[in-house]
């Protein structure tokens, strides 16, 4: 394929949403260009086993799933490129975006599929045990911890929801809360506190993880910096981060409307943003579901929306 810097549809992001959008726009003969970003394949590349994506009855590793989607997009002619977008100009069409290598791309439509990055505590151990006990998605990975002991970090609704979900699978769930109270809604607080196999550890921070190849436990400190400071360890098989995600929207904020958390706002029932011709798909515009299958579905929707926009404006 000869390289061009003009396209009817530029897709920014190489996760389930981006690759699915590339499949659909390629089949619609829009000759899309897709920039895969810093982490081709997105968050699923750090997930060892995916069992809830349709079409894989025996399960599939996250990297393999992403590679399959990528190959399918390539099969239909998508121009997949490494690198990320450093600057955008959405003042007029064709839109102009600048890559980290300084290249300028002109695009009649843009699909933003840059995803959201899970927030971590910043412990070196988190990366060491990533996919080997550490996860940022209980819905994705909770099944692997049936009858085992797990911990969830966080004190908001998301953390409580994940703790409750895991409590139906795991033998024991620790909810590690750095404050002396839960920030979650009253209903969620009551459900967590009433659940027999959930123990809430207030005023507690995680200072380390340990294990021989796979996670075996966490090092905690209670009442840090006070005369009641106490260090101890808990034995766990899984460690789930539930302290939120950061949507990857910074480069688009001069033009694209976002909510207080930074997620792209979609004003209508479509994937259209507040800028005509710019669409958003996947976790970058989804603070609720954040699943591979919902991201892929929204990538399909964005591709169809982009195709229809081009047809209406040609």
Query: Which structure tokens are listed for 52?
Result: 């809830």
The crossing angle, in degrees rounded to 10, of helices 16-27 and 292-313 is: 40
Instruction: Quickly state the pLDDT bin for 201 (edges 50, 70, 90).
Output: very high
For residue 2, pLDDT over 60 is answered with no
pLDDT in tens, 27-50: 999 999 999 987 777 777 766 678
The alpha-helical segments, DSSP class H, found in the chain are 16-27, 62-75, 124-128, 138-141, 157-167, 186-194, 292-313
Q: What are 160-196's pLDDT values in tens digits?
A: 989 999 999 999 999 999 999 999 889 999 999 999 9
Q: Which of 2-16, 35-49, 58-72 has the lowest mean pLDDT?
A: 35-49
Half-sphere exposure (CA, 13 Å, Cβ side) for 262? 15
111-156 pLDDT, tens digit per residue, is 999 999 888 999 988 989 998 999 988 878 889 999 999 999 999 9
Averaged confidence pLDDT in the chain: 93
What pLDDT shows up at residue 141? Answer: 87
Please work out, in degrees rounded to the nearest 5, the angle formed at the alpha carbon of residue 309 by the alpha carbons of 306 and 314.
Answer: 125
Active site residues: 137, 140-141
pLDDT value at residue 48: 63
Positive or negative torsion for Cα 286, 248, 27, 56: negative
């Amino acid at each position: 394929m000869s390289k061009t810097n003009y396209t009817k549809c530029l897709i920014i992001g190489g996760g389930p949403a981006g690759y699915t959008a590339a499949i659909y726009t390629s089949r619609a003969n829009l000759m899309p260009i897709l920039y895969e970003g810093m982490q081709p394949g997105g968050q699923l590349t750090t997930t060892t086993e995916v069992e809830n994506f349709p079409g894989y009855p025996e399960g599939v590793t996250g990297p393999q799933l992403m590679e399959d989607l990528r190959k399918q997009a390539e099969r239909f002619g998508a121009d997949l490129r490494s690198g990320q977008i450093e600057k955008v100009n959405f003042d007029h069409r064709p839109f102009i975006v600048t890559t980290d290598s300084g290249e300028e791309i002109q695009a009649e439509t843009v699909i933003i599929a840059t995803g959201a990055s899970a927030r971590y505590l910043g412990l070196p151990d988190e990366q060491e045990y990533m996919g080997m006990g550490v996860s940022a998605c209980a819905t994705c990975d909770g099944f692997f911890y049936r009858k085992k002991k797990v911990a969830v970090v966080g004190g908001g609704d998301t953390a409580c929801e994940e703790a409750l979900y895991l409590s139906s699978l795991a033998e024991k769930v620790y909810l590690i809360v750095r404050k002396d109270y839960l920030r979650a809604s009253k209903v969620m607080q009551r459900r967590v506190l009433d659940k027999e196999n959930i123990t809430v550890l207030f005023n507690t921070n995680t200072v380390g993880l340990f294990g021989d190849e796979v996670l075996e436990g966490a090092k905690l400190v209670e009442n840090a910096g006070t005369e009641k400071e106490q260090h101890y360890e808990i034995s766990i098989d899984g460690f789930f981060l539930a302290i939120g995600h950061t949507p990857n929207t910074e480069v688009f904020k001069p033009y694209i409307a976002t909510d207080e958390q930074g997620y792209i706002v979609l004003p209508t029932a479509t994937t259209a943003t507040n800028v005509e011709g710019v669409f958003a798909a996947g976790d970058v515009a989804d603070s609720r579901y954040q699943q591979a299958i919902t991201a892929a579905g929204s990538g399909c929707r964005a591709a169809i929306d982009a195709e229809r926009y081009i047809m209406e404006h040609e």
